[in-house]
Amino acid sequence: MIGRATVLALLTWLGLHAAAAHDLTPFQEPGRSHVLHEDVSASGAEMINVETYVPAACAAKPCPLVVSLHGLNRNAEAARDNWGEAAERYGLLVAAPHFDKERFPTRLFQQGGVRGEPDRTRWVYSIIERFFDRALKSGRVSGTSYVLFGHSAGAQFVHRMALLLPEARYSTAVSANAGYYTLPVWREGAGGLAYPYSLEGTPATEATLKAAFAKPLWVMLGDQDIDPDHPQLNKSRGAQAQGANRLARGEHFMVVAVGEAKRLGAESRWREIVVPGVAHQSRQMANAAADALFGGK
**What is the 3-state composition of the chain as percent helix, strand, coil, each rounded to the nearest 5?**
40, 20, 40
Per-residue pLDDT of 190-222, as tens digits, reads: 889 999 999 999 999 999 999 999 999 999 999
CATH number for 180: 3.40.50.1820
What is the residue-wise DSSP string for 157-181?
Answer: HHHHHHHH-TTS-EEEEEEES-SS-
pLDDT tens-digit series, residues 240-277: 999 999 999 999 999 999 999 999 999 999 999 999 99
- The per-residue pLDDT for range 1-48, each reduced to its tens digit, is 444 444 333 333 334 334 444 577 899 999 999 999 999 877 678 899
CA distance 129 to 83: 20
pLDDT of residue 5: 44
Q: For 133-192, write each residue's pLDDT tens digit.
A: 999 999 999 999 999 999 999 999 999 999 999 999 999 999 999 999 999 999 888 889
Say if residue 100's pLDDT is above 50.
yes
Query: How many domains are contained in the chain?
Result: 1
**Strands (DSSP E) found in 11-64:** 31-41, 44-54
The length of the chain in residues reads 297
Q: Determine the pLDDT at residue 297.
A: 59
- Give yes or no for a contact between 91 and 82, defined as CB atoms under 8 angstroms apart: no
pLDDT tens by residue, 109-120: 999 999 999 999
Question: Which amino acid is it at 65?
Answer: L
pTM here?
Answer: 0.91
Nearest to 180 by CA among 72, 67, 42: 72
Owning domain of residue 128: 4-294
Q: Which pLDDT score is estimated for 3? A: 47
